[in-house]
Structure formats: C-alpha cells, structure tokens
Amino acid sequence: MLAEVLDAAVRLVAIVAVFLVLPLVAGQMEHKVMAHMQGRLGPMYAGGFHGWAQLIADGVKFLQKEDVVPAAADRRVFALAPAVALVPYLVVLAVIPIGPGLVGADLDAGLFFVLAVMGVGVLGSIMAGWSSGNKYSLMGGMRSAAQLMSYELPLVLAASSVAMAAGTLSLPGIVAAWQWWWLPWQAVGGVVFFVAGLAELRRPPFDMPIAESEIIMGPMTEYTGIRFALFMLAEYAGIIVLSALTSVLFLGGWHGPLLPGPVWLLLKVFALVFVVIWVRVSFPRFREDQLQKLAWTGLVPLALLQLLLTGVVRVAAG
Amino acid sequence: MDGYFGSYALVFALLAIGVAIFGGGLLVNRLLRPHRPTAEKLTTYECGVDPVGEGWAQSQVRYYVFTYLYVVFAVDAVFLFPWATVFAAPGFGAATLVEMFVFLGFIALGILYAWRKRVLAWT
C-alpha cells in the first residue's frame, strides 16, 4: 500500500514539474525563435545569459500586480474562467505516456478522455468572453465558439483513425502498437490533427478570437495580473499538450533508435513546438468564416478519407 | 487503488492539484498586491473613451448552421470510438467496416448537400 502511494506521488510530482517547466521553456523558445526569424535578438537582459529568466521575471511581475475586476463584469464567472482554461491541460498530462510503463494513469478510454478533457479548455475562453461585460471580449468569445465548431470534429475524426489502426483507445497501447510504416499510413490524419489542434489553441494563423490588432485581446481584454498570467500559461501548456499528443498518436511517441524513450518524446515535442512557432511567424491570420470553410470542406473530408484508408488497410492486412 | 475506477484516482488527485495551483497563485497574489480600486480603473475598457451602452450587446450568430452540423457529427464520433477498437478483431472484418462506412457515407452526403445549398458560408 505504502509503495503504491509513493509510486503515485512520484508520478504526480513529475507531471506537475513537467506542467510548470515545459510551458516556460516553450515560451522562452518562442521569444527567441521568433526574434531570430525576424532579425531581432529577443530578451537579452533578465538572468544574464541570453535573457533565460525573462518569463520568470514576467511571472514575478504578474504576481505583484493589482487584481482588477471591472464593475460591469459577472464577477464569479470572470474569476473562475482562467482555472477552466488552465486545469484541463494539467489533467490531460496524466495520461500521456513518456516511455514503456512511464505514464501517470493508463486509462482504457485514454484517447477519449484526452479529447473530452481538452474540449473543456475552450469553455474558459468563452466564459471569459461572456463574463467580462466588454464588447471586444464578447466578440472574442463568440469567435472562440465559432472556432469550436470548426476544429473539434477533424480533431476527433483524425484521432479515431489512430484508434482504428491500433485497435485500442489506451495511449500507451497505441504507442506500443506503433510501427514505422504508420508514418506514411497516418500522415494525412496527423496533419489534420495538428492543424485542428492549432485552431483549438487559438494560435496563429487561427488566433482570430484574440486578434490583438482588431479586438484588443478578445476574451482576455479585461484581464490583468495573475489571472492574465494563468491564461498565458494555459496557452503554452496547450502547445505542449498538443505537441505531445501529436507525437504520441502520429509520430510514435517514445520509439526511436539509440536514445532512451523519454528523450525521443521530448525531442519530438520540441520539434513540433518549433513548427507551431514557425507557423506563427509565417502565416497571416485567417478570418473566422475562412477557418470554418477550411474545416468543413477541407479537414473533415480529409479526415474521413483517412478513416477509409485506415479501415481498408487494417482489414486487408488481417 | 484497484478496479476500473481505481485507475482514475490519480486523475482526480491531479485535478485537485490543478485547483490548488490556481488557488495558491491567487493567494500569493493577494498577499503581494496593492488594492486601490477607483471608479476609472473599474470601467469597461473601450479604447480610452467612456463605454457606450452595455457590454452584452445583441449580435447575430452567423454560424448556427455549422452548430447543427457539428452536433450531428459529434454524436457520430461517439459511435466511432467503440467501433474502432473491435472492427478488425476476429469475427468482424470487412462487413463491419462496410457498415460503418455506409453510416459515415450518409452523413458525408449531408455535408455535401449543405455545401451545394451554400450554407457552409457565412450569410
């Protein structure tokens, strides 16, 4: 019994450490990679060496800022929204396997659980948009809801293609069943999943709910201090979760030659984080109706084709 | 920590930790921050001018057709997951596959119809 509790405690500590550290690494990476792609240096002062402590300094600043709740806001919902946006990404980390046997909890319905819990995160954004009592926030919230209509379905269909290929919904089971030839076999599904995931995270080019050049900061317009910081943390935790899920489902998770499994997963995750940043630097923002059109006439049919391909190959192969 | 729901114990512990992280952040913030609200500070932000009317303005939801389509497909996805785990198992195979694609085909026909009716664009 004691051994079991200790084992669970170690897993929990590891998951929380990953949740608190990797989003900061991704954020700092975004600062630096974006800066260099745009011919700038990015943060250079905080912490001395290439501004490594910039985000920690930001965090300390946010912690000391006054907590302003606008008089027109719906106070309770306004206060709760950052938690609804942030906590699901922590919970999802529990089921992402980093090596054979190295997973917080091996759930039978792991893939289903992940999709369900990730879907909760967007509610935080809609809650914030509605409760702020601000026109920009309301528009941002409505755009978030519009985005939900577009990304959720391709995401779910692409993920179920992997479940079909592996014949299980357990994430460690999926990675254990993975073979190298799944890369070309599931490639279309992988791209659909990643693009839909970008839309879920409201990352550029799908950042129209936030769109700082037209609706200030969308749902986050009225937020300041620690609550705003938690929204930002949710965004970067989301990038980590999406990259980790894409790696686990489509890129073979811990599989790889020479290096140990968790290192391979970490490499794949940060390669995808790099792609997320690269896409942000390279593409202009879509309009909301353009995203819906892309999703319903592009991503959904592609995902259905992938399902067909997966099913036929699986049955033909026995 | 055994049985089917035993595997969810860690998930619930993690949920509790997540709530604690949120609460802890707010608590530390409360200890460190100033608190000097003024009427101006608490006004709704509207690019510097005084807010006009209420924040909860009426607006037209231009994507309600997508919402219907979305609900139809979300339900279909629920059927897809349990099917995905068994369709290639012994005793199922090609017939099971065809059945699901007849089902998906009907729904895909729905999208095609919506597309031809030009409702997959904002009005």
pTM metric for this prediction: 0.90
Instruction: Look at B120 and A292 and tell me if their CB atoms are within 8 Å.
Output: yes
Q: From the list A12, A148, A164, which residue is nearest B87 (CB)? A: A164
Q: For residues A84 and A127, what is the distance between their CA atoms, to the nearest angstrom?
A: 9
Encode chain A (318 residues) as per-residue pLDDT tens digits.
788 888 888 888 988 999 989 999 999 999 999 999 999 988 888 888 888 888 899 988 998 888 888 888 888 999 899 999 999 999 998 889 988 878 878 888 888 899 889 888 889 999 998 898 888 888 888 888 888 888 888 999 899 899 888 888 888 889 988 888 888 888 999 999 999 999 988 888 888 888 888 888 888 888 888 899 999 999 999 999 999 999 999 988 888 888 888 898 999 999 999 999 999 999 998 888 888 888 888 898 899 889 888 888 888 876
Considering only CB atoms, which chain A residues are within 8 Å of B1? 4, 8
Q: For residues A282 and A274, what is the distance between their CA atoms, to the nearest angstrom?
A: 12
Q: How far is CA A271 from the centre of its chain?
A: 14
Instruction: Look at B46 and A135 and tell me if their CB atoms are within 8 Å.
Output: yes
What chain B residue is nearest to A94 in terms of C-alpha separation? B11
pLDDT band at B41; cut points 50, 70, 90: confident
Mean pLDDT across the stretch B112-119?
82
What is the model's pLDDT at position A3?
82
Interface of A with B in 75-104 (CB under 8 A): 82-83, 86-87, 90-91, 93-95, 104
Where on the phi/psi map is residue A50: left (φ > 0), alpha (ψ -120 to 50), or beta? left
**Residue B3: pLDDT above 90?**
no
What is the model's pLDDT at position B123?
63
Angle, CA of A45, A51 and A57, to the nearest 5°: 85
Q: Is A133 on the interface with B (CB under 8 A)?
A: yes
Instruction: Look at A71 and B4 and tell me if their CB atoms are within 8 Å.
Output: no
Q: From the list A132, A297, A315, which residue is nearest B94 (CB)? A: A315
Instruction: Look at A308 and B101 and tell me if their CB atoms are within 8 Å.
Output: yes
Q: For residues A61 and A76, what is the distance between their CA atoms, to the nearest angstrom?
A: 24
Please spell the DSSP secondary structure of A65-104, one letter per residue: S-----TTS-HHHHHHHHHHHHHHHHHHHTT--SBTTB-S
The model's pLDDT over B63-109, given as tens digits with 9 standing for 90+, comes to: 777 788 788 778 877 888 888 888 777 777 778 888 888 888 888 88
Helices (H), chain A: 2-37, 54-64, 75-93, 110-131, 135-166, 171-177, 182-185, 187-200, 212-215, 225-250, 261-282, 288-294, 300-316
Considering only CB atoms, which chain B residues are within 8 Å of A72? 43-44, 51, 54-55
Q: From the list B32, B87, B111, which residue is nearest A64 (CB)? A: B32
Residues 6+ apart with CB under 8 A from A96: A103, A104, A114, A171, A241, A244, A245, A248
| Token couple for A299 | 């991503």
Alpha-carbon distance A159 to nearest alpha carbon in chain B (angstroms)? 9
Task: Count CB neighbours of B119 within 10 A.
Answer: 15
Alpha-carbon distance B122 to nearest alpha carbon in chain A (angstroms)? 6
Task: Say if CB A224 and CB A67 are below 8 A apart.
Answer: yes
Q: From the list A67, A148, A315, which residue is nearest B88 (CB)? A: A315
What is the model's pLDDT at position A106?
80
Residue A44's Cβ-count burial label (10 Å; 0-12, 13-18, 19+) is middle
What chain A residue is nearest to B112 in terms of C-alpha separation? A297
The model's pLDDT over B15-25, given as tens digits with 9 standing for 90+, comes to: 999 999 999 98
Alpha-carbon distance A69 to nearest alpha carbon in chain B (angstroms)? 7
Its sign, for the CA torsion A104, A236, A37, A33, is negative
Considering only CB atoms, which chain B residues are within 8 Å of A292? 63, 66, 120, 122
Considering only CB atoms, which chain A residues are within 8 Å of B55? 72, 132-135, 137-138
Strand partners for A99: A102
Q: From the list B33, B44, B66, which residue is nearest A292 (CB)? A: B66
User: Which of A226, A230, A293 should we substitute to test contact with B (largest number of B Cβ atoms within 10 Å)?
Assistant: A226
**Residue B1: pLDDT above 60?**
no
Amino acid residing at A44: M
